[in-house]
Amino acid sequence: MSEILRAGTTARYSDYTVHNGVVYCVEVPPDATAGITAQTAAMLASLEQLLLKAGSGKGHMLLATLYLTDMSDYDAVNAVWDAWVPAGTAPTRACVQVAALAHPGWRVEIAVQAACLS
Mean pLDDT by runs of 10 across the 118 residues of the chain is 90 96 97 98 98 97 98 98 98 98 97 92
Residues in the chain: 118
Digit-coded pLDDT (tens) for 80-109? 999 999 999 999 999 999 999 999 999 999
Q: How far apart are CA 103 and CA 81, in angstroms?
A: 22
Amino acid 108: pLDDT: 98
Q: Is 16 helix (H, G, I), strand (E, B) or coil?
A: strand
The pTM for the full model equals 0.95
Neighbouring C-alpha atoms within 13 Å toward the C-beta of 48: 12
